């Protein structure tokens, strides 16, 4: 059986990554690709030349009514926050399930959107409906969901390594967590700004939005951690893709490496996309890029009272499109790995 899907917002990097995964997914039939009115109707291959000879589909302006006519089962939204906010209720009104890759439904408190996302959120009922799509942690709720809020790429790289330790209660209550994350430039989106020009990025390395990055409240929400005890500083790497996060934590008592490994195994032994490197190897971008894996490692310090935790993901796959497909699989009672382990992306890019 194939499920009829639509992909909305295909002009960006995450949209391209997602359409590649959708086109080769054995249980999906892509019946529509849509973008904004400004994009107009264009051949998909004219927007993304990598798809020449792979898809003859045309991108059309967003139309929830057309989705209903096409009997779309699930819509993927790779749209900006404010756009998703406007589209979701229209699409849901047709009984279509949604996986939203924007941040519009990740935070549970509607009052948080104005200071962190810059727009007023007046749909608390949709925030109550939305399921946070961290696949390895919310599988049961995702399987029943009408609206899945796909996590941000930085939060995925931080939550997967930290949640097992927080849930085990071994971190010091009220202690500080420091997260130092580094991302490739595709994490900033596909837009023409001066700071994203090749001449600005190449041979350079810089922090941005320190302390006040909009993903911080999302991470604290899921960790159940006080934002005042959480420091997140993202950096821009002069590479195309990938995120490497380094987290510094303190424990209530001395911990040994075996205890940490045991907590990770209890949570992730049945989840194939989280790989434990332990205390011997370290994550690196080339090992995860173009895959849906998250690699996790750690080192103990101060006699086991502190630890440095490392993780690496591909920001466009596990941090966006791949996790969206994982969530689709759960929503349709498919194996988590369906369509995600059969080779790499269609067009391998740098």
DSSP per-residue string spanning 53-98: TT---EEEE--HHHHHHTT-SEEEE---HHHHHHHHHHHHTTT-EE
Which token pair is 164? 């097992």
* CA gap 173, 180 in Å, rounded: 21
Q: Which of 30, 59, 78, 153 is catalytic?
A: 153
| CB within 8 Å of 239: residues ≥ 6 apart | 184, 185, 285
Q: How far is CA 14 from CA 51, 111, 160, 241, in A?
A: 14, 27, 20, 11
Active-site residue 78, yes or no?
no
* CA gap 128, 262 in Å, rounded: 33
Nearest to 99 by CA among 112, 80, 84: 84
Answer yes or no: are the C-beta atoms of 243 and 151 closer than 8 Å.
Answer: no
Q: How far is CA 31 from CA 2, 4, 47, 59, 117, in A?
A: 11, 6, 17, 11, 32
Give the sign of the dihedral formed by CA 275, CA 154, CA 150, CA 169: positive
What is the C-alpha end-to-end distance of the chain, expressed in Å? 35
Catalytic residues, which ones?
Answer: 153
């Amino acid at each position: 059986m194939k499920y009829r899907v639509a992909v909305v917002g295909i002009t960006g990097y995450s949209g391209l990554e997602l359409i590649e995964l959708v086109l080769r997914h054995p249980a999906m039939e892509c019946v529509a690709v849509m973008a904004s009115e400004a994009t107009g109707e264009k051949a998909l291959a004219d927007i993304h030349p990598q798809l020449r000879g792979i898809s003859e589909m045309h991108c059309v302006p967003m139309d929830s009514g057309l989705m209903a006519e096409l009997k779309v089962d699930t819509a993927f939204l790779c749209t900006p926050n404010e756009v998703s906010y406007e589209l979701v209720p229209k699409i849901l009104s047709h009984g279509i399930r949604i996986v939203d890759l924007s941040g519009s439904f990740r935070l549970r408190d509607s009052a948080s959107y104005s200071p962190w996302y810059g727009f007023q959120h007046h749909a608390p009922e949709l925030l109550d409906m939305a399921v946070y799509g961290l696949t390895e942690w919310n599988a049961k709720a995702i399987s029943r969901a009408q609206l899945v809020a796909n996590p941000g790429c930085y939060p995925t790289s931080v939550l997967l390594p930290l949640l097992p330790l927080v849930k085990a209660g071994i971190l010091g209550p009220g202690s500080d967590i420091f997260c130092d994350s580094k991302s490739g430039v595709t994490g900033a989106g596909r837009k023409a700004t001066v700071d994203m020009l090749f001449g600005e990025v190449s041979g350079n390395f810089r922090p941005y939005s320190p302390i006040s990055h909009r993903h911080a409240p999302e991470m604290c929400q899921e960790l159940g951690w006080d934002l005042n005890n959480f420091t997140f500083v993202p950096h821009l790497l002069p590479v195309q893709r990938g995120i490497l996060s380094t987290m510094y934590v303190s424990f209530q008592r001395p911990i040994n490496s075996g205890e940490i490994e045991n907590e990770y195994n209890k949570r992730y032994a049945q989840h194939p996309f989280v790989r434990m490197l332990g205390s011997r190897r370290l994550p690196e971008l080339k090992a995860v890029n173009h895959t849906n894996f998250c690699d996790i490692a750690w080192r103990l310090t101060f006699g086991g009272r502190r630890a440095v935790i490392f993780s690496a993901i591909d920001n466009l796959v596990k941090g966006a499109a791949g996790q969206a497909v994982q969530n689709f699989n759960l929503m349709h009672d498919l194996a988590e790995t369906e369509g995600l382990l059969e080779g790499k992306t269609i067009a391998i890019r740098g």
